[in-house]
Amino acid sequence: MKDLLAQLVENNPLSAEQAIDAFEQIMTGKAQPTQTAALLALIQQRGATVDELVGAATVMRAKAAKVTVPKGLVAIDTCGTGGDLAGTFNISTASAIVAAGAGRPLGLCVAKHGNKSVTSKSGSSQVLDTLGVKLAVSTDTLTKCLDQAGICFCFAPAHHPAMKHAGPVRADLGFRTLFNLVGPLTNPAGAPRQVMGVFSPKLTSMIAKVLLKLGSIHAMVVHGTLPDADGDSQQFDALDELSTSGLNVVSTVRDGTVTTTEMDPTELNLSLGHPSALRVDSPEASAKVITNILAGKEGAPREIVALNAAAALTVGGVAQDLAEGLTMAFDAIDTGKAKAALDALIELTNQDKT
């Protein structure tokens, strides 16, 4: 580790092989806490490279507690980085539920990876717990959820025990590190298709290149914008989701290549909803928004969830594009398929005796 740290001090990035070596030492407890802190700080100060992220994710994936995807199903994920500070309800969680309702009859399932909130008012685990989903369940139950509900929730701390060595160091550092980007790259079900929101438009292309090197078949790395809390059209907050209230940057992994485009939601006939309808101050408020969407309530929350579900259905291969995905997402909401997916997830997890 000392040689690797010396290299970083000279501002020379690690190769993928060196990064694997470094994070193997960190995740097995062989690295001293001071060494882990130094490595994370040095990389963060410069900015992580594609190879460094690939190396860290490779080690973390290898050590994850795996979830088996039922035979005949294709698994996707909608886990994002968080950290956008926009204060919205849990859009990616709601879109995962809608995508499951639309996609499960077509052989698609959603292995939703997530954690507690660090920067927002409500993390995915907190809103699902509020909705009645039991988080502490066996991997067998998660597989059953994928099969019967079309969705499961992979609570990150339960699947990444090797992070126990790095966790205290991250907490002591108190600033964002490479691990904030690596987490969404390590789906426990090995989902080769995903929609990953990132907190900066500068990250979309780089993270897409990481996913390509990690073997993703089809992925979208997205960053959206949202008018600020006062609705000022000249001031925009970052959003680690696709936005219906502003422009989006989308880097797509497909057919072994990465392409980056700008997406305007109005081109999909979506209205530019006011951002105040998307913001919440608690898991309970987020859960209420999601419940209202699944009950068919019209408005900005419904549209932004449908757009992000459309992206999930597209990378999952059951929709040709976002336009078709939108139609499928709205249908899943209106016919009750999305609510049925959540109801089944709640019932199956609460049957678990873990």
How long, in residues, is the chain?
354
Q: Are 249 and 202 in contact (CB under 8 A)?
A: no
Nearest to 125 by CA among 175, 90, 76, 164: 90
pTM: 0.94
Question: Can you state the angle between helices 91-103 and 283-294, rounded to 10 degrees?
Answer: 30
pLDDT score of 174: 86
Say which CATH class 74-159+171-349 falls into: alpha beta
pLDDT score of 44: 96
* Cα 265 from Cα 105, distance rounded (Å): 27
Name the token pair of 204: 């979309």
Nearest to 351 by CA among 145, 156, 98: 145
Q: Are 150 and 104 in contact (CB under 8 A)?
A: yes
- CA 13, distance to chain mean position in Å, is 26
Superfamily of domain 2-62: Transferase, Pyrimidine Nucleoside Phosphorylase; Chain C (1.20.970.10)
* Cα 16 from Cα 51, distance rounded (Å): 4
* Cα 183 from Cα 149, distance rounded (Å): 24
pLDDT score of 123: 81
Domain definitions of the chain by residue range: 2-62, 74-159+171-349
Q: Are 219 and 104 in contact (CB under 8 A)?
A: no
pLDDT score of 115: 82
Mean pLDDT by 10 residues, the chain (354 residues): 97 97 97 97 97 98 97 96 78 97 98 75 87 96 98 94 91 90 95 95 97 97 82 68 93 97 94 81 95 96 97 98 98 98 98 87
pLDDT score of 111: 97
Q: Are 54 and 19 in contact (CB under 8 A)?
A: yes
Q: In Å, how far are 31, 112, 217, 290 from 124, measured between CA atoms? A: 31, 9, 25, 12
* Cα 250 from Cα 208, distance rounded (Å): 9
pLDDT score of 277: 86
